[in-house]
Structure 1
Amino acid sequence: MVRLTLDLIAKNNNFKTRKETTSQYLKKITHVNFSDKNIDAIEDLSLCKNLSVLYLYDNRISQITNLNYATNLTHLYLQNNCISCIENLRSLKKLEKLYLGGNYIAVIEGLEGLEGLRELHVESQRLPLGEKLLFDPRTLHSLAKSLSILNISNNNIDDIRDLEILENLNQLIAVDNQLLHMK
């Protein structure tokens, strides 16, 4: 069991100066990359006040937790984990890009209040046979003005009329679905 903690980040630092305390280092870092490290949980990282980019793809994370501190986060990479529910992201008001492809998410929800989200990548969800990716209308309404890129490829989707509300969508990536017609 490997948890992403402040200690783990501090031990794996390559940019801390000798004169810097661990606390000073953690407060100034902007990017953390712990991809493909068998991480299964995110602990309290509240000292990382300036964190803007967090790479946690290719791990075993099952829940999105302890990110409410990360109010400066702009990019979050959580693809290829074990996440089944989009949750605990409402405090990330500066989030611009969210990568959740290759998880177990059946419903795109829980993104209300993220008015700055420009890119959402939810391709290739590992859904039970015959199920398709669904969209919560509240989430779509919340993202209507901001979302410009949406990747929903390989999710067994057969109808995208719900996405018409996304008035600033410039790029829809929807390959390998069950779409019969585009309107």
Structure 2
Amino acid sequence: MVRLTVHLIAKSSNYSKTCRSESLQQYLKKLTHLNFSNKSIEEIDDLSRCRNLTVLYLYDNQISQICNLGFASNLTHLYMQNNNISCIENLSSLHKLSKLFLGGNSITVVEGLDELKSLKELHVEGQKLPRGEKLVFDLRSISSLSETLCILNISKNNIDELWDLAPLRKLTHLYATDNQLQDIQELETVFSQWSQLRLLDLNRNPVCHKPKYRDRLITALKCTETLSRQFLINWKASKDAKKKLDDGKDVKERIANPLTTDFRVGPQHPFAHERSSSLSKPSEYGKPGVTFRVHGDSRGKRYEQSKCLLSC
């Protein structure tokens, strides 16, 4: 069994470079960032000598339990995605924790977050759930996060409703792709509670096939005025670009077939080119005023959005 211990830290290359100038005790006391990702670690040992630790990377390991972190009162970022964790526990002492990454584990209930009064980002996407089960939320934890949580990633968790998340009124970014959301009335009610929502991604949910789902969700959002106006502007621009593209194809077909060529046709219309990008990493989340992109309907249209983004 590979355990994360102070001796393992002592063997790390970073300490080896400084061991001649300071003792292990001094090194551990000064340590603020610790990266032991993808090291086949199964257990966290006593690291209480690392009292000034602020960022801990333990993703891509084989850890089954969150433990021995009670000392880390200065920890602000904890990365434990892609492990074997089944329960969120032993985090009550991490009062300064602002970002928690637990995606790709075996968690069935989002709980144990009651004391995390500084948590702004929570990532629990892609849990390895038992067949037919969905990720559920402990109401005490959600209530405790209602004044702080801004970014939530719950994608790929077989979730079919969002009622329990309604208290998260400070939410600005929600990633809920690849779930089973389909009740548009429920979504309208929940979204109407989130006055600060700026990015919403519901791609690959059944609700995306509902008639006029986008119009209804835009109306429910509190950022309706900015979103709707920009949406209509971009829709018209997209429609005009498509018309130019179709006209250009028409010209090519006429030239290719001399029997139907119209020699009075003027200059060929230019083809519209579209730049695209995606928010693929947690570190790339947008800030107010930054241009976001909206992924369009099943025909692949995309609309640029100045302040709010609806992707579904």
Q: Percent identity?
A: 63
| 1:92 has 2:94 as partner | yes
Could you tell me how far apart the structure 1 residues matched to 2:153 and 2:13 are?
Answer: 33
| 1:12 has 2:12 as partner | yes
Counterpart residue type for residue 176 of structure 1: D
Task: Tell me the equivalent position of 1:164.
Answer: 166
Could you tell me how far apart the structure 1 residues matched to 2:64 and 2:18 are?
Answer: 30
Could you tell me how far apart the structure 2 residues matched to 1:71 and 1:13 are?
Answer: 26
- Output one character per residue of 1:92-126: Cα deviation in whole Å (capped at 9) or x when no partner: 00000000000000000000010100000000000
Task: Tell me the equivalent position of 1:58.
Answer: 60
TM-score by length of 1: 0.98
Could you tell me how far apart the structure 1 residues matched to 2:83 and 2:98 are?
Answer: 20
- Output one character per residue of 1:143-177: Cα deviation in whole Å (capped at 9) or x when no partner: 00000000000000000011110010000100000
The gaps in structure 2 that reach 5 residues or longer are: 189-312
Give the Å deviation of 1:11.
1.1
Could you tell me how far apart the structure 1 residues matched to 2:11 and 2:74 are?
Answer: 23
Counterpart residue type for residue 22 of structure 1: L
How many residues are matched? 183
Partner SS for 1:8: helix
Larger Rg: 2
Partner SS for 2:73: coil
Give the Å deviation of 1:13.
4.0
Give the Å deviation of 1:17.
5.0
Could you tell me how far apart the structure 1 residues matched to 2:107 and 2:162 are?
Answer: 17
Partner SS for 1:138: helix
Task: Tell me the equivalent position of 1:141.
Answer: 143
Task: Tell me the equivalent position of 1:77.
Answer: 79
Task: Tell me the equivalent position of 2:108.
Answer: 106
TM-score by length of 2: 0.58
After TM superposition, the runs of 4+ consecutive aligned structure 1 residues lying more than 6 A away are none
Give the Å deviation of 1:5.
0.3
- Output one character per residue of 1:21-58: Cα deviation in whole Å (capped at 9) or x when no partner: 00000000100000000000000000001100000000
